[in-house]
A and B are shown apart, each in its own frame.
Chain A
Amino acid sequence: MNEVKVEVLGLEPPCMRCQAARKVAEKVAEKLKQTEIIVKVEKANIMSKDVVGKYGVLVSPAIAVNGVVKFMGRVPSEAEVEKTIREAVKKEA
């Protein structure tokens, strides 16, 4: 069983593009359920001190996979996010 943590870093209150990014992440998570990869999607405020302390200055929306920011300032496609998650799983294994 593989577990991947996906953080969607967006604005609070949510902006449209951050919500779009979260939807992409959740759809991919739903899809990967069938392939033995458990994707935990978490939402974090891009302006919180925790996020800035961990990742530095970011452009919203950003998506981090297993603690590494992979996408920033754009809404990636589902295929891209899926590929990135699969790569992260391979790296762990």
Chain B
Amino acid sequence: MKPLRHAVIVGPSLALALVMATPAAAKPADPPSWRPVASEKLIKLPTNYLKKSLDHDFAQSALSGAIQDADSEIGLKGQTLDDLRTAIEQADGELQVELRHQFLAQKREFITLMKRKADLRRRHLQTKQRTLERLLKKLGQEKGAMTPARVQLVAQQQQARARFKGSLAKVDLAVLASPAVPESKYAQEYAANMAAAEALAAAIRAHPMNSQARQDGQPASKADFIRQMLADTQAGVAVLEQEQNVIGYMAKLVALDALALSESVMDAELTDSDAPRTAGPAAAVKYFVN
């Protein structure tokens, strides 16, 4: 088959395939996935570590590997497109038509890869969003457990502790005043352990990994931090939708280019054709007038 004829047949079918196939690519049998669990352990992690833990979990998943593979494939395909464009500029005649056809086919594959990557990224963002929503819900459930009776109890316990701390020295003086009575084992060991615990607590407070997450310069609570992460993820989904629109426009442009290529090849074939032009009756009048 001649390249020109080949382009004429394949051009419209390529355009049709692009328009029809772009929204839904063929799905693999076992799609790569990421299955994070919104566990109690995750909720109890420090806010800064929560994000790192989720990111680390994702980096270990098959979905992350698939996104990286798609990225490298897109990079290679971009190089191929560059090479073809340079070759088209240097070629002419039938070879140029053939190269233009190749260029369109490669563009189509590039778009398919971009769409695949966008789908994978969407899956990642949607999974992350669901996980964060579940975390927020669990956190809310913990807060929701603070019924009025429980709030009152906690307040009473805080008052009791404050009163106990305030009267500790006085009580010690009153009860342990007699030198004949030694301090109890509990009191002695508690004091020793307390000093050790305070030293450790100070070290934990000063530890760089224990620094509290901040939002607009203010210390953020765990719920605030998760909500911020959720908002960022939703923003990522919105940007991804916009990117998919761009991919759609790319596909449309490739389809139009394919139609233009097909039409230009057909025009050239018609110009070269040996078929006789059909004449009107006026041209045949000379045969009838003597």
Report if A and B associate in a common complex. Answer: no
